């Protein structure tokens, strides 16, 4: 989360992709960074044990939201 926020501060459009168990930490980091409304994408857990096909399916599912966030007006 912090890396995405830092990139945004530098003028680089960014999206954090957060696994469900880390949402609480992501929310805390947004607040600590002074960006409580910073949007991000949440993916189901687990991630590491997925097959390549499952990874592709998840990527396909979240791609529209990522594009939306990357192209939003500041």
Question: Could you tell me the two tokens for 26?
Answer: 């992501």
Q: Crossing angle, helix 23-32 and helix 2-9, to 10 degrees?
A: 40
CA angle 39/6/43 to nearest 5° reads 40
CA dihedral 57, 60, 66, 70 (to 10 degrees): 140
- The pLDDT of residue 74 is 61
pTM comes to 0.88
- Read off the pLDDT of residues 29-72 as tens digits, 9 standing for 90 and up: 999 999 999 999 999 999 889 999 999 999 999 999 999 999 98
Domain borders along the chain are 2-70
8 token code pair = 């945004």
Kindly state the DSSP code that residue 31 receives in the 8-state scheme. H
């Amino acid at each position: 989360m912090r890396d995405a926020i830092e990139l945004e501060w530098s003028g680089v459009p960014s999206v954090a992709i957060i696994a469900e168990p880390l949402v609480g930490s992501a929310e805390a980091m947004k607040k600590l960074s002074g960006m409580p409304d910073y949007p991000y994408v949440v993916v189901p857990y687990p991630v590491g044990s997925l097959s390549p096909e499952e990874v592709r399916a998840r990527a396909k599912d979240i791609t529209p939201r990522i594009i939306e966030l990357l192209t939003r007006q500041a």
